[in-house]
Amino acid sequence: MKELKIFGIVAAFTLILYWGVEPFAHSQMHKHVEGHNLVYDGKADIEEASKDKKEAKKKFWAEVKEIAKLKGDPVAGEATYAMCAGCHMEGAANMGGVTPPSLDHAGAIYDKNFLIALIKNPAMATNVDHKYKDTSTHPMGSISSMVSAPQDIANVVAYLKAKKAGEVTPKEAYIEACGRCHANRYGKLTQLGEIPKTKSNIKTGQDIEKMKYDQKVAEEQAALADYLGKLPPDLSIIYRARSEHFLHTFVENPQSQLAGTAMPRTGLDHEGMEKVMAYLEETGDPSKPARDALGPYVLIFFVIFTILAYLWKKSQWKDLH
Ligand code: HEC
Ligand code: HEC
């Protein structure tokens, strides 16, 4: 009877801590940010903007909305896309501090409205315009004068949306959307992509190819740190360090969680976000597949063990009863 009372008290305390104190402390320490369900209509940007920027943002997003209504022609868009490919090509070099990402899966992982906004004005679309006196000096800024007619913008976006190159893997989505800035050690990725396999020289024990690669990575990281004010953190274990809600709302609009941050909004749609999160979960917890596979065996072991323990108990007590 006494044990039962003690158990009751312990259980009550645990439940109070779990449902009462912890959520309260959490809500005090982390401000709750509502997501916008990956709708990129500029609403949050206009709300957060300082007085002198509000009107410009309102006008910008209203124009984006108008372009979104146009019917894009993917065939005409392919010709215009040549402008994009001038920067976004295989093996592109760093420009203005960052290397343009591959756009192989852009149509699948980015939202349509976001893409329109991005071509109109990359700094505004990604909500880092506060960094620029003149937003055309953004590394992708010159596109706004190269492709400026609303119909041309609608066409390129229609082309990207139509181009979907097969199923996107979580890793591909991550590399396209985040990889140019964030390394992922557990995923064996640097800002330059997959870490190549190299071999040491048998006689000297030195791996010159690796040294050369490391130097290139160091140069890329230095350029990124100049561009962004700091080197973006490695994201190997971010999935375990932060809640999924934080990651979602942060990636949707970094300014909402960290005002003034240099991280741009990435404009992921639902598919893109899901894939990126899947990759972060995979690298954040590399032993999960092995653990999941082990699970059923552990359960079977416990069942057998329980039966044996029960039989043993019965045989031990049978003379006493
Ligand atoms: C153009 C570069 C750039 C891209 C692309 C980028 N980030 Fe970032 N990210 C940054 C920078 C810079 C910071 C540091 C922010 C700060 O401290 O102000 C950051 C910070 C973060 C943080 C916060 C870490 C913490 O705990 O504070 C997370 C999470 C993150 N990025 C996730 C992502 C994901 C996921 C993607 C891809 C969908 C992505 N980032 C794409 C530049 C980038
Ligand atoms: C002058 C070179 C240049 C041109 C032209 C250019 N881009 Fe970019 N683009 C960049 C750079 C540099 C970045 C990376 C910017 C950053 O991370 O801050 C980028 C980033 C992007 C991103 C990723 C955005 C994100 O939020 O993750 C997309 C999508 C994109 N460009 C699409 C396009 C399309 C579509 C076109 C053609 C209509 C185009 N770009 C033309 C240089 C260019």
Ordered per-residue pLDDT tens for the chain, 321 residues: 788 999 999 999 999 988 888 877 776 666 677 888 999 999 999 998 989 999 999 999 999 999 999 999 999 999 999 999 999 998 899 999 999 999 999 999 999 999 999 999 999 999 999 999 999 999 999 999 999 999 999 999 999 999 876 789 999 999 999 999 999 999 999 999 999 999 999 999 999 999 999 999 999 999 999 999 999 999 999 999 998 899 999 999 999 888 889 999 999 999 999 999 999 999 998 777 788 888 889 999 999 999 999 999 988 888 876
Q: Whole-angstrom Cα distance, residue 175 to residue 161?
A: 19
Q: Return the residue whose CA atom lies nearest to atom 42 of ligand 2.
A: 140
- Tokens 């620029």: give the residue: 132
CB 97 within 8 A of CB 226: yes
Residue 106 Cβ inside 6 Å of ligand 2? The answer reads: yes
pLDDT (0 to 100) of residue 291 = 83
Q: Whole-angstrom Cα distance, residue 209 to residue 236?
A: 24
CB 228 within 8 A of CB 263: yes
- From residue 82, give the alpha-carbon distance in Å to each of 27, 67, 87, 89, 160: 49, 20, 9, 10, 12
Residues with CB under 6 A from ligand 1: 98, 177-178, 180-182, 228, 230, 232-233, 235, 238, 242, 247, 250-251, 258, 261-264, 266, 268, 276
Dihedral sign (CA 104, 272, 141, 41): positive
Q: Could you give the dihedral angle defined by the CA atoms of residues 19, 24, 30 and 33, in that order, rounded to the nearest 10 degrees?
A: 80
pLDDT (0 to 100) of residue 34 = 80
Residues 6+ apart with CB under 8 A from 41: 61, 64, 65, 113
Q: How far is CA 229 from the centre of its chain?
A: 20
Backbone angles phi, psi at 174, to 5 degrees: -65, -45
The residue among 162, 150, 153, 145 whose CA lies nearest residue 106 is 162
Q: Return the residue whose CA atom lies nearest to atom 20 of ligand 1.
A: 232
Q: How many residues does the chain have?
A: 321
